[in-house]
Amino acid sequence: MSLPANPTFDNLTPEMVAKTIDHALLKPEMTVDEVLAGCQLCAKYNTASVCVKPCDVKLAADALRGTTVDVGTVIGFPHGNTPSSVKTFEALQAIEDGAVELDMVLNIGHLKSGRHDEIRDEIRSLTSAAKAKMPEVVIKVIFECSLLTDEEKVVACKLTEEAGADYVKTSTGFSTGGATIPDLKLMRANTTKGKTFVKASGGVRTLDYLIECLQAGADRIGASATDQIIDDMRARKAAAQQ
């Protein structure tokens, strides 16, 4: 479902908003029952995807079979510190378990150390292996923008695009900050629109901020307040029609 060129409350629908959301079920203390309830919520609202921990991919894939909700997971989460070979193995295992979207954390410390070739090679290696196994798999690269300078964010955008990944993503939601409008504008300005997409994640808890993120260049939104966001839009749309 494509979005308007300039998304606003007036030209968006609840269905459009739902299809921008990757519903996050990543808290370490989440029980199996809570994960299943989250999958049911995704099916009810018809979100773009559910993003679960790697251990829950099979569970989510079974729960959402027959729906149009994709199953995603995280790789090298939350700090990006596992070796490249381990990230690639984790990605291939996730695909085997039923994931079709993979959000990988780049090696933040090595990016800040200027080891750019290493970062590009890691993203390229994982992306190539994952797409060889499943050509339609979507690869998103998490930067953790709150820990980076603007110059480092621009470099990360360029490396991600050169490596062939599909998305650049602001944050894990588990560090010192989340998605900001300046970061989204910077990421959009330093990637090729239509080739590399932008995901806002971390702190997107309201409909108004979700729309701000879309206007700043985000194509996808990571959120856990999915039901509140969509219910708010439905209520406001209904009120506007009275």
19, 87, 153, 169: the catalytic one is 169
Query: Would you place residue 241 in the very low, low, confident or very high pLDDT band (cuts 50, 70, 90)?
Result: confident
Residue 199 known to be catalytic: yes
User: How does DSSP assign the chain, residue by residue?
Assistant: -PPPSS--TTT--HHHHHTTEEEEE--TT--HHHHHHHHHHHHHHT-SEEEE-GGGHHHHHHHTTTSS-EEEEEESTTT--S-HHHHHHHHHHHHHHT-SEEEEEP-HHHHHTT-HHHHHHHHHHHHHHHHHH-TT-EEEEE--GGGS-HHHHHHHHHHHHHHT-SEEE---SSSS----HHHHHHHHHTS-TTTSEEEEESS--SHHHHHHHHHTT-SEEEES-HHHHHHHHHHHHHHHH-
19, 87, 140, 199: the catalytic one is 199
pLDDT at 174: 96
Residue 195 known to be catalytic: no
Q: Could you report the per-residue pLDDT of 46-70, keeping only the tens digit for each?
A: 999 999 999 999 999 999 999 999 9
pLDDT at 242: 84
- What average pLDDT does range 183-193 have in this prediction? 98
Looking at the predicted structure, is the pLDDT value of residue 2 above 90?
Answer: no
Q: Could you report the per-residue pLDDT of 108-155, keeping only the tens digit for each?
A: 999 999 999 999 999 999 999 999 999 999 999 999 999 999 999 999
Query: Would you place residue 37 in the very low, low, confident or very high pLDDT band (cuts 50, 70, 90)?
Result: very high
Q: Could you report the per-residue pLDDT of 152-170, keeping only the tens digit for each?
A: 999 999 999 999 999 999 9
Domains within the chain, CATH numbers bracketed: 14-241 (3.20.20.70)
pLDDT at 61: 98
